Structures are given as C-alpha cells and as structure tokens.
Structure 1
C-alpha cells in the first residue's frame, strides 16, 4: 500500500477546522427537526383530518426523496424560485432540519401512541386541558421511550451532514477533499475525515447512554 500520511499531517488542523461548521449545521438542523417534528406529530394524531393530511403529505415528500436532492433544490433552486441565492450554510441546516422533522415526527408519534390511553383519559376526567395534558403528562413519558430513536436520528444527521460538500460548504468532508486535491493523496485525508466522524458519533453515543441511564434512574 502506497500510503503517505507525512504529506497529510500539516493539513490535519485545516481539516479539523471543519468540525465547528459540521456541528453548527447539525445543531441548528436538530433543533428545527425536533420542534417541527413535535408539531407534525401532534398534527398526525389530531382529530382534524386536514391536519392529518398535511402532516402525512409533508412526511411523504421528505421521506420519499433523497436528502441530497432536497439540499440541491434549496441551494441551487433558490435563485430561480426566489430571485435570491441562499447561503450554503443556511441551505444546509434548512434542508437537514426539514428532512429530519419528517423522521422525528414519526418517532414522536409512535412514542405518543405507546403511552397508555388511560393517562389522557384520567387527565381529562380531572379537568386538565388537552394542551396541558399533552405537554406535562403524555410527551414527557413518550420522550423517555423514544430517546434511543432520537439519539439515533441525531447520529444519522451527523453522518449525513457530509453531503453538504456538494454545495461547497467547508465542513470536514469538503476540507479533506480539498487537501486530497492539493496533495494528490485522497485516501489519507478521507480516512482522517472518517476517523473524525467516527469519534463524533462515539461521543454522541456515550452522551445518549448517559442521558438514558439518568432518565431510567429518575423513574
């Protein structure tokens, strides 16, 4: 194997500078996905059929098309649709956030449906409004059950963020590709990028297990 990491070593700090950009995209997208996911899940379990249809249509669009296609439509299509070029960073967290919301909504909906119906019936019998019952009784129990699934979505979001390289955002993967172009050695910088993603995912996995353990002890 003709590997030459010595030529790549000086460029490692440059690749590492992509970590904050990746984390910013993932963090903002996760917040958007979580908040919108909650809203969509509530729409899906609503007794109003139009809300069900809107939420289901939204989910079908974002789950039925590739994420990279959604990213390209938002970034490359914005000048034609709105007459303004959306910034690469904004296009990244918007596409990831909107996509993630579709998956998170299904996870949260499943968690809500798994909570014993008697909980809501008991709250209504005591005169607790639906909104308060959902926010203070049903959702907290649902989140305990779906925490592993939510952490898995966050991990998936972190790994899939690498596709932002196609719109030129200077994340980890983009920087490793640039280093490969400058040194004519692509395997080594991409391998280093893979190691960085692996470490990030392992850290998220550990954080998820710690949070899950604390929530179980609080029961």
Structure 2
C-alpha cells in the first residue's frame, strides 16, 4: 500500500493533479450554482405568476406575453430534466460552442442551465407554499405584483427552500464529475490521468472517491446546521 501510495501520489508530484482538479471542480460547481439560481428564480417567477394570475388576467398584451414565457419555461424544464446532463454538456461543447476552447465556461453554462431547471421547481414550490394572504397584505401596503414578489414573497419562499437549494449544490458537485467528457481536467479526470500514468487504478480512483466523500459530508453537515438554525429562528 505504501509503495502504491508513493507511486500514485508522491512520485513526479502526481498529487498536484488532484489539487488542480479539485480547484477546477469547485470553481465550476460554484459558478454553475450561481447561474442555476438566477435562471431558476426567473423561471420560477414566470411559472408561479402564470399559475396564480392567468385565469384572472384580462385578455391583452400582458397575458399573451406571460403565456409565451410560460410555454418557453415549460419547454425548457421538459427538455433539461428529460435529458442526461452529460449529453447536454457534450451538445454545449461540441455543437453550440464548437469554436470555443474555454472548457470551464462551457461547463459552467451546461451545468448551470441544467441546475436551473431543478432550482426553478424548488423555488416555484416555495413560492406556491406562501400563504395567499401575503399577496393581499402586499396589495394593502400599496405594492404592485412585482414589488410584492420581490419584497414579501421571494424572501419567505427562499427561506423555505434554502435547505433544498443547498442539497442541489451537493448534487451538482457530484454531477460535475462528468466534465472529463469534454477534456476538462476536473477532480475525476485528474484521477484518471494518474491511473493512465501509473497503470494502477485502485489508489487514484479511491483517492478521488474519498475526496468527493469528504466534501459531500462537509457540505451535508453545513446543510444540517443551516436547517437547525432556520428551525430555531421560527420559534
């Protein structure tokens, strides 16, 4: 075991592959989460606004535009949630951005757009769970619908779904392991590079698995701590 450890990680400073790969994995995950949250919130607002107001809205430009945006959002959710993320990644890299060599940017867009579909449903469920009286309270304060959403509904919904959003971050962290399909040297790809140099699969792959496990356990602990704090704040 010691000889294998020395061969796979110490010789030729091969451990640096894992360090560099870990940095790429965290960078892609963090940026993709931010993009996913932005896209998800926009789609969730469109979907929830349509569900709540479509029947009561008078026929006009506003209703038509909202209907079109809702149809686009539903198509986006259906396509993204109905296809594998690795296929979306390869379409993004080999077709849409075939002329680009910025693998991190392409990966962030692919994973962010994929994550946005799941974030959208999480946030939409949070918005729909807010009591209808909160909308009426906003109107009684003189707020229009957008102001009510921004200042009253979204903060409450975000608090309700924050643990679920944190779990989405954990899921996304593991999903980025397929970034090697576009030759991005993330953590998983780093382990595969070491394996190809040493012709030893056990040590580098187990090492990569342990690093992912430690990260997931750490973020799971943070999520649990966040949930306890949110429960305590409601008392």
Q: TM-score, normalised by structure 1?
A: 0.92
2-structure distance, mates of 1:45, 1:53: 13
2-structure distance, mates of 1:51, 1:118: 26
Q: Indicate yes or no: 2:21 matched with 1:18.
A: yes
Aligned with 2:161: secondary structure?
Answer: helix
Q: Pick the structure with greater CA Rg.
A: 2
Structure 1 residues 152-180: Cα deviation after superposition (integer angstroms, max 9, x where no partner): 11001000100001111111111100000
Q: TM-score, normalised by structure 2?
A: 0.86
2-structure distance, mates of 1:86, 1:36: 24
Structure 1 residues 8-31: Cα deviation after superposition (integer angstroms, max 9, x where no partner): 231223212211111110011000
Q: Indicate yes or no: 2:166 matched with 1:151.
A: yes
**1:78–1:86 CA contact under 8 A, matched in 2:** no
Find the counterpart in structure 1 of residue 63 from structure 2. Answer: none
Find the counterpart in structure 2 of residue 118 from structure 1. Answer: 133
Moved more, 131-140 or 28-37: 131-140
Structure 1 gaps of 5+ residues are none
Q: Indicate yes or no: 2:30 matched with 1:27.
A: yes
2-structure distance, mates of 1:130, 1:210: 34
Structure 2 gaps of 5+ residues are 51-65
2-structure distance, mates of 1:15, 1:86: 22
1:169 counterpart (176, 180, 184)? 184
Q: Structure 1 pair 79/135, CA: closer, same or farther in 2 (3 Å)?
A: closer
Q: Indicate yes or no: 2:94 matched with 1:65.
A: no
Alignment length (residue pairs): 215
1:85, distance to aligned residue in structure 2 (A): 2.5
Aligned with 2:195: secondary structure?
Answer: helix
Find the counterpart in structure 2 of residue 136 from structure 1. Answer: 151
**2:119–2:168 CA contact under 8 A, matched in 1:** yes
Q: Indicate yes or no: 2:207 matched with 1:192.
A: yes
